[in-house]
Structure 1
Amino acid sequence: MSSKQALLVIDYTNDFVADKGALTCGKPGQAIEKYIFDLVDKMYQEGDWIWFPTDVHKPNDPYHPETKLFPPHNVMNSWGRQLYGNISYWFVEHNNDEQVKLFDKTRYSAFAGTDLDLRLRERKIDTLHLVGVCTDICILHTAVDAYNLGYKIVIHENGVASFNQAGHQWALEHFKNCLGAEIIK
């Protein structure tokens, strides 16, 4: 494996995307499924790393700051935490492959409290492609941390969504103008 890039599919779970998800962005999140699926498959075939940083929570955790901000979501071992739609089937088919990994995250950023930076540096990855939800929350915080750690950032505009359209648009501009991210339309 010699790829210098990784695709991070962030929080693309039932709770964030499905109609009955606990904290869903609904139709905007569902509309990006095919784009994400095609990108995952293409980058996988090209030998790139495909990682799924996925939010996980304990119900009503009094020590987690999101408990006061949002309803319970992505609770461990629940339907809501499972990957959404065809992405879930793709992951099940490929999850034993070295280049595919799902890992827990407990904060907005995929870097906060995880060994993501270490794993990327071990593999000499210097470019991160970001897709998933929500553009103005977990994608944004992951991108800011990636920027601060010196990674090149690629945002796939057709592969990100939010339940807040104004926040989504603001984040896309922020990625480009403040983080120097390449925006692929």
Structure 2
Amino acid sequence: MSEALLVIDYSYDFAAPEGKLTAGEPALEIESALVDKISEFHGTGRPVFFMMDIHHEGDEHHPETELFPPHNIAGTKGRELFGRVKEIYEEIESAPNVFFIDKTRYSAFAGTNLGQLLAERGIDSLTLTGLVTDICILHTAVDAYNKGYRITVPASCVGSFNRDGHIFALEHFKNSLGATVER
């Protein structure tokens, strides 16, 4: 089994208390566990993919425009990795097993070359981390399931601004996608 880590949307806008679409305290609570998970994967040479939401100022055609306030706008602080996750990324970003990929939809697979990069490396198992459990993590997990990947979601490494949605997603990962949810 070959495994990769996906760090999804741990950006300033999603994680900082003053972020444009912050998950608030749940985002801050996962920071240490997320940094530990990144260190673990990187330290063993397994691939780490930082998947980052990107939007463009004034893009009225993007489907999220009517659902959420502007966030993760290209060229702004809001789109930068946040806190200690940003620090560890800056330490390891030039390593051959570290990738940073822009994504324009909830799923890390939609419109990206993630699937190709995983296939080239023989990856068959994914550990999903980051924000937001019931949106981008959930949509990535469904796509991963449909593509045949084994899925692990460490509950200590995902968070949401919607507590009920977070709980639903963790149960959905386990009960509908056969994922391992680490408590």
Work out whether the TM-score is over 0.5.
yes
Instruction: Tell me if 1:64 matches 2:72.
Output: no
1:178 is matched with which residue?
A: 176
Moved over 3 A (4+): none
Q: How does 1:27-176 map to 2 (within 5 A)?
A: 27-176=25-174
In structure 1, what residue type is equivalent to 2:71? H
Measured after TM superposition, the shift of residue 43 of structure 1 is 1.2
Q: Percent of aligned positions with the same letter in both sequences?
A: 50
Distance in 2 (alpha carbons) for counterparts of 1:89 and 1:160: 19
For the residues of structure 1 that align with 2:129 and 2:14, how far apart are their CA atoms?
13
Length, aligned pairs only: 183
Cα shift readout 1:121-180 (whole Å, capped 9, x = no counterpart): 010000000010000000000000000000000001000000000000000000000000
The answer to whether residue 7 in structure 2 is matched with residue 9 in structure 1 is yes
Letter matched to residue 33 of structure 2: Y
**What runs of 5+ residues in structure 1 fail to find an aligned partner?**
none
Deviations 1:91-121 (A, max 9, x none): 1111111100111000000000001111100
Q: What's the CA shift for 1:11?
A: 0.1
TM-score by length of 1: 0.97
Q: Normalised by the size of structure 2, how large is the TM-score?
A: 0.98
